[in-house]
Amino acid sequence: MNWSVMEWSAVAIVVVMFATWLLSLVLKNASIVDPVWSLGFVIVGWTSALVGDGDRLRVGVILVLVTIWGVRLSAHLFTRNRGHGEDFRYKAMRKKHGDRFWLISLVTVFATQGILMFVVSLPLQFGIGIVGRSTGWAVLLVAGIAVWLVGFGFESIGDAQLKAFKADPTSQGQVMDRGLWRYTRHPNYFGDACVWWGIMLVSLGAGGWAYLGILGPILMTTLLRRVSGVTLLEKSLVKRRPGYPEYVRRTSAFIPKPPRN
């Protein structure tokens, strides 16, 4: 393992998150961290590739996977958030902390997300920084790409379906329960998790310490399922959507399943 990969990845994350924090102070909008979050992984991947010396095929595949995912998600979030002001989460924090929000946001929003980004990106760092190939690397490569494709499909198609639903005036006040949303309440979050499990499988082809990269998708899945994803969002949706409790009753929260009667 080329440890400079981890060191430079950490430096890249600090620079990205600190610069984003400074920009948020100028714009008075901490929500800009959301589209930067996914783009940050792309920066980590390419930074690792510049200083790492892993197998060219594996490194190339990992870079393609993380770049396609990160750029699409960042563009989607930027477009979705544009013109809507600061997210309610950060507005609540700003109201609570007042004049101290500038410092509180640095620690609780930007620094915290930077630390999480470093851990989640471990498959990138190990997959790119380790020289050689493990036994069964080809199987892991194919399996990883397959899982990534499932995840990217769920995430991108789910986002597109929700965008179309919100753009339809007749759907105002209704619950999105069509398309992929019929089988899981959060196809985008499920897809996001699969993307990182797929990248982790590809990175395992490096052998050695690469198995520690499993911490990345475990953390990402936990965040999406138990912390900032499903749990936090649904607290708001239950209050804002009258039919949401019934939707919760019949629809899987995360892993796609046939709806219950």
Domain chopping of the chain, boundaries: 3-250
pLDDT digits (tens, 9 = 90+) for 172-209: 888 899 999 999 999 999 999 999 999 999 999 999 89
Answer yes or no: is pLDDT of 52 > 70.
yes
The DSSP-derived string for 63-93 is: HHHHHHHHHHHHHHHHHHHTTS-S-HHHHHH
DSSP state of 258: P
Tokens of 228: 């900032």
Predicted pLDDT at 244:
85
When pLDDT is cut at 50, 70 and 90, the band that residue 2 belongs to is: low
| pLDDT, position 174 | 87
Alpha-carbon span 208 to 206, nearest angstrom: 7
C-alpha span between 217 and 223 (Å, rounded): 10
Res 86 pLDDT > 70: yes
Query: Does residue 14 register a pLDDT over 90?
Result: yes
What token pair was written down for 170? 């007749």
pLDDT level of residue 106 (50, 70, 90 thresholds) = very high
- What is the structure's pLDDT at 251? 94
Structure tokens at 235: 């607290």
- Residue 146 pLDDT: 98
Chain-centroid distance, C-alpha 93: 22
Q: Measured between alpha carbons, how far is 36 from 12 in angstroms, rounded to an integer?
A: 13
CA pair distance 123, 140, nearest whole angstrom: 13
Q: Convert the pLDDT of each residue in 151-179 to its tens digit.
A: 999 999 999 999 999 999 988 888 899 99
Residue 30 has pLDDT above 80, yes or no: yes
**Confidence band for 1, pLDDT divided at 50, 70 and 90:** low
Which residue did the predictor score with more confidence, 242 or 31? 31
Q: Which residue has the tokens 């870079």?
A: 63
Q: pLDDT band for 230, please (50, 70, 90 cuts).
A: confident
Q: What is the mean pLDDT of the chain?
A: 93
Q: Note if the pTM is more than 0.85.
A: yes
Which residues contact residue 9 at a Cβ distance below 8 angstroms, ignoring those fewer than 6 apart? 44, 47, 48, 118, 121, 124, 125
Q: Are 175 and 251 in contact (CB under 8 A)?
A: no
Angle between helices 112-120 and 215-222 (to 10 degrees): 130
Give the containing element (helix H, strand E) for 234.
helix 230-240
Phi, psi (rounded to 5 degrees) for 242: -55, -35
Whole-angstrom Cα distance, residue 209 to residue 224?
26
